[in-house]
Chains A and B, each alone.
Chain A
């Protein structure tokens, strides 16, 4: 990213860029861990393993989502489209295992 500093009184990188990059870095640190994601768009819920981060896309091996036809495949999820996420960590709550037990 190349910007001249201080165009129209703005300093680059802007606070938004810093914020967005910090979010991406958090996801990069979470690679290999289980993740829970909510998005405002369909299918809304993703639970699975965070396998990679490519630019600002999280690659998630999705085990559970709201409907079964969309499970068990890798999803590319735009990190900045994510409203809520939780990357599972030691000592913190586990992401519930969702099973239908019939």
Chain B
């Protein structure tokens, strides 16, 4: 079917909420038919939001041809670039890239884009005519929208009228034989320039400083700061403080942000899209869970999803609205990053239990718009006086805080008559309006008495501490924890599937917290337990105060009962406070419960006694293999003081959300600055011989034991990158047909179960790998013993470990010796592939604009060193071997202390928090991801009580890696000095290829040993072009005059207000970036030719300095993408006009053209569907690039894949399997 849309880009005033906050320079896409209407409405309503001012969402079906007539009414050239679609880049790319003709529309002109939509999902569109990241850019001001592609044969109606619609963020989607569903467009965006109703920069009434930047959904946000002003003025809720009521509709009425409406049980597809420019947000959707990949029924279950700029997910809640238990009420949906949540990035999913025909009202008299029932579902009952339905049975009082729930609070109230009519027959504390535990016959009941207490917590041996740590503890542990007999740790409760969990929660916090360097005096007088994953009654057990629900928290000294049902084996369910979370979650207010398989027993790993809580336990099961279980909860914004009481990394003013404080994992950290040892050599920072074991968690197990690492983030705003060196797990925990990973991006509230065996004894390093995290102590060990120890019981289903014959190692203060023998992990007859690698100083030229790193350090094969020293501009080392090969690495260092830029030991840029002396190491090492090796000899790092694995100048260190699986791209990096080496280039890539593969130079056809661009030839596979992209983001470059380039600030096309220059970016935003030691910063192009629309054009500037990859139409292509270095800001990768399976090992996985959440350690393989030019094999230039407008694209993180129509002399034609001739 052919669908046509006439889309106009218009300038428009966007009013973001009912308080009149607005963006006067808004830009939006709108259908031509609505253009005049929306302009008129905005003119008439300059201070209130207008419904039609929303991101444009249009729809089509799989198999459709979509024709977009795009009309540009902006005063410079703009366009619409569509992700996911098949199109001819010559006329429909919506960009002006490479040698393609421009497919942007000039001001006042029109252009037609023709797209074919061949898979379901979100086809996001954005402008690429103006890639400026400043406030003058287009994306930041609203120029994004979506084409939602539905199953073939679908049609859609307006949820209010039931009539047809042409656009809109909400629609009901119908199909001849699939269930109808509600489709909710949920488009996060950030950084939109915003003024308050008076035209000034919005202020935070609590701090009197400018408030956090705008974080919005669908052009709306509901800042706490606005609502608090009404409290301060005494307009509403005189007893309220602020944060605890800021989602409360009883106090404020409904927010301006999206309210997604449906009836209990309605199927839903929530289209989660990131239309913004900078942050990686985490969507959390209360009450509901969904499969990570909706196409894969065995995929991981999520209830929180990180999403990076210009990427998307389809969230399809299991069991429809209200989940399995059929909850009704308001389920809040929000970005879990607290500063964003606080500033208004949230909305509500309102689940009605009675029919809304347009005649009803909310308790404040606001009419409830009609909502058509889905045609294939039973019609809900009409509201009656006795049974008015949600929310009208709740005995709230307008302008006052929501009432407390009935029954749940000890000594609290009974139900009113209306509540009794709405309640389930066996209403009881914590389960009043639905009965989650009735889902099973007589389930096991497990009760926990939990309190929230305040106490000082010491994070490390140097005395860094949080004087007002706040943690959940079991009541029976309170005395032991307060007296110091038990170390404070996050509360981890253990239970099995099919358990009815009852939490008796007591608020034992002081009611008021005094002011400090970090925070202002705050009255945190009520708290609760908000829980993820399990099934519960959202009205009374949400532990929150949301919309028209009850306030299910308690005052100081009170106790409340919550009830949850853990229906199936889940992972770790996160819990935290939802009332003052923004204020105190970073003090430690988080914990978790782990739902194990049914019939599991939990034992203390040391004594073997049965336990029901603890961060590290041993799990015994009669059928499945026993395992060790460890929880790691990472936190940022940890508000710490040093031992003398001086605040560490305080913000500019108390109450600021601008990245205060430091980091922790399970309330501990082990900063590298304290681990230099006597020799002051960073190479031994992780060695327990030099420095004793870290204070951070060490998971104990025996060689061969299965382990499950439960990874969660408890606080507060930032992305982290978890890596385990030397181990790997299947990406989707329940599905054995997924790819291997050894790294996982995590944002707050996400939870992952990483399941694996520990094949050999030794110390395995786990890290949060980004430079600033690792520097500040986010690392620890997994220690596998080969002989028995008296503090670890053996697993009951494994052979007991041999009796101890040698004493356990002890710290010596000295670096360890090297291993005498490096055993080969592969079979004895495996082919051995040897690489002699040298690390040496070599200036690297990063671009044709003469931007360079004069202090570069590169890895290279011994045979290539001379060429490089003679002037060949180096590329990152990229080496390959095949499945079945043993790889022998002989690494040597030619580093010299006086060749480093900062031999004084203070590395100023790119910066990290808590700068300290850390002199350069002249030793070198090479760590590889995902391969099989003995960590005692070949992990490429000197960790724990393992032998030395680094090479001093003149020495050779040997590693042996076995390629047991064709795992594809593996990052390589140095681990001897993360501060002085990585920014200079000490990284590369290893690729584990299929057995029997040869690697050919794409120009000559000769076999090669290294290189980013090769042709893979395998007797059983088609010739495939392999393009390797080593994405880096922490480089330190100088310009042609030798002046330091301070990226990203120096790269911003629209310039930076000098006043903002120093605090525009966070520490981890700093550094130059691009691919493969190359960058193409747009600012250079703009200076030479100041025309925004031409910045990606090769006709104007020639090709970019970043890798240019070439192919012929239809050539099979696999992209290998790794990010070995090094900052914490997560990136998105997007390739124009092509798509791939999101899991290369699972052919039924979702098809996408974006890869998000890329942080240090990310490694992914992208075999493109249909090869070069995609399905229709269109020749032309296809951009590959970051999706982050702030601050990647203009800072040089983009390049081109060129698909040639005609044969080129420098590019040989791939061999066809069934024909000897090629048509070119």
Residues of A within 8 A of B (CB): 45, 66-69, 71-72, 96, 98-100, 102
Select B598's contact among A72, A96, A98, beta carbons within 8 Å.
Answer: A98
Minimum Cβ distance to chain A for residue B1042 (Å): 65
Minimum Cβ distance to chain B for residue A27 (Å): 21
Judging by beta carbons under 8 Å apart, are A67 and B441 in contact? no
The yes or no answer to B482 lying at the interface (CB within 8 A) is no
A-B pair count, CB < 8 Å, reads 38
Nearest A residue to B439 by beta-carbon distance? A69
What's the Cα separation between A24 and B393 when bound, in Å?
59
* B597 contacts across to A, CB distance below 8 A: 66
Judging by beta carbons under 8 Å apart, are B496 and A100 in contact? yes
> With contacts A45-B623, A96-B622 known, is A67 near B599, CB below 8 A?
no
Judging by beta carbons under 8 Å apart, are A102 and B444 in contact? yes
Judging by beta carbons under 8 Å apart, are A100 and B599 in contact? yes
Minimum Cβ distance to chain A for residue B561 (Å): 18
Nearest B residue to A66 by beta-carbon distance? B598
* A69 contacts across to B, CB distance below 8 A: 439-441
What's the Cα separation between A16 and B493 when bound, in Å?
50
The yes or no answer to B498 lying at the interface (CB within 8 A) is yes
Closest 10 A-B residue pairs measured CB to CB? Answer: A96-B622, A98-B599, A68-B498, A68-B440, A100-B444, A102-B444, A69-B440, A67-B568, A102-B446, A98-B622
* A96 contacts across to B, CB distance below 8 A: 622-623
Residues of B within 8 A of A (CB): 439-441, 443-446, 496-499, 567-569, 597-599, 622-623
Minimum Cβ distance to chain B for residue A73 (Å): 11
* B599 contacts across to A, CB distance below 8 A: 98-100
Judging by beta carbons under 8 Å apart, are B623 and A68 in contact? no
What's the Cα separation between A27 and B497 when bound, in Å?
31
Minimum Cβ distance to chain B for residue A86 (Å): 11
Q: 28 A-B Cβ contacts within 8 A?
A: A45-B623, A66-B568, A66-B569, A66-B597, A66-B598, A67-B440, A67-B497, A67-B567, A67-B568, A68-B440, A68-B441, A68-B443, A68-B498, A68-B598, A69-B440, A69-B441, A96-B622, A96-B623, A98-B599, A98-B622, A98-B623, A99-B599, A100-B496, A100-B498, A100-B599, A102-B444, A102-B445, A102-B446
What's the Cα separation between A23 and B568 when bound, in Å?
32
* B567 contacts across to A, CB distance below 8 A: 67
What's the Cα separation between A98 and B440 when bound, in Å?
17
Residue from B440, B568, B598, B622 with most neighbouring chain A CB atoms (10 Å): B598
Minimum Cβ distance to chain A for residue B736 (Å): 11
What's the Cα separation between A71 and B623 when bound, in Å?
17
Minimum Cβ distance to chain B for residue A94 (Å): 11
What's the Cα separation between A73 and B830 when bound, in Å?
53
What's the Cα separation between A96 and B600 when bound, in Å?
13
* A100 contacts across to B, CB distance below 8 A: 444, 496, 498-499, 598-599
Minimum Cβ distance to chain B for residue A89 (Å): 19
What's the Cα separation between A19 and B584 when bound, in Å?
66
* A71 contacts across to B, CB distance below 8 A: 441
Nearest A residue to B440 by beta-carbon distance? A68
* B445 contacts across to A, CB distance below 8 A: 102
* B598 contacts across to A, CB distance below 8 A: 66-68, 98, 100
* A102 contacts across to B, CB distance below 8 A: 444-446
* A99 contacts across to B, CB distance below 8 A: 599
Minimum Cβ distance to chain A for residue B314 (Å): 23
Residue from A68, A96, A98, A102 with most neighbouring chain B CB atoms (10 Å): A68
* B569 contacts across to A, CB distance below 8 A: 66
* A67 contacts across to B, CB distance below 8 A: 440, 497-498, 567-568, 598
Minimum Cβ distance to chain B for residue A5 (Å): 39
Nearest A residue to B442 by beta-carbon distance? A68
Nearest B residue to A72 by beta-carbon distance? B441
What's the Cα separation between A100 and B600 when bound, in Å?
8
Minimum Cβ distance to chain B for residue A63 (Å): 12
* B568 contacts across to A, CB distance below 8 A: 66-67
What's the Cα separation between A67 and B496 when bound, in Å?
11
What's the Cα separation between A66 and B568 when bound, in Å?
8
Minimum Cβ distance to chain A for residue B1121 (Å): 33
* B443 contacts across to A, CB distance below 8 A: 68
What's the Cα separation between A102 and B441 when bound, in Å?
15
Nearest B residue to A99 by beta-carbon distance? B599
Minimum Cβ distance to chain A for residue B143 (Å): 45
* A66 contacts across to B, CB distance below 8 A: 497, 568-569, 597-598
What's the Cα separation between A68 and B567 when bound, in Å?
9
Minimum Cβ distance to chain B for residue A101 (Å): 9
Nearest A residue to B567 by beta-carbon distance? A67
What's the Cα separation between A45 and B624 when bound, in Å?
11
What's the Cα separation between A79 and B243 when bound, in Å?
59
Minimum Cβ distance to chain B for residue A100 (Å): 5
* B496 contacts across to A, CB distance below 8 A: 100
Nearest B residue to A69 by beta-carbon distance? B440
What's the Cα separation between A4 and B422 when bound, in Å?
69
Minimum Cβ distance to chain A for residue B110 (Å): 53
Minimum Cβ distance to chain A for residue B301 (Å): 14
What's the Cα separation between A46 and B497 when bound, in Å?
16
What's the Cα separation between A100 and B621 when bound, in Å?
11
What's the Cα separation between A66 and B482 when bound, in Å?
40
What's the Cα separation between A96 and B446 when bound, in Å?
23
* B498 contacts across to A, CB distance below 8 A: 67-68, 100
Minimum Cβ distance to chain B for residue A92 (Å): 16
Minimum Cβ distance to chain B for residue A55 (Å): 29
Minimum Cβ distance to chain B for residue A84 (Å): 11
* B441 contacts across to A, CB distance below 8 A: 68-69, 71-72
Minimum Cβ distance to chain B for residue A93 (Å): 11
Minimum Cβ distance to chain A for residue B533 (Å): 15
* B446 contacts across to A, CB distance below 8 A: 102
* B499 contacts across to A, CB distance below 8 A: 100
What's the Cα separation between A68 and B497 when bound, in Å?
9
What's the Cα separation between A100 and B601 when bound, in Å?
9
Given contacts A66-B497, A100-B496, A102-B444, 18 further A-B contacts (CB under 8 A): A66-B568, A67-B497, A67-B498, A67-B567, A67-B568, A68-B441, A68-B498, A68-B598, A69-B441, A96-B623, A98-B598, A98-B599, A98-B622, A99-B599, A100-B498, A100-B499, A102-B445, A102-B446
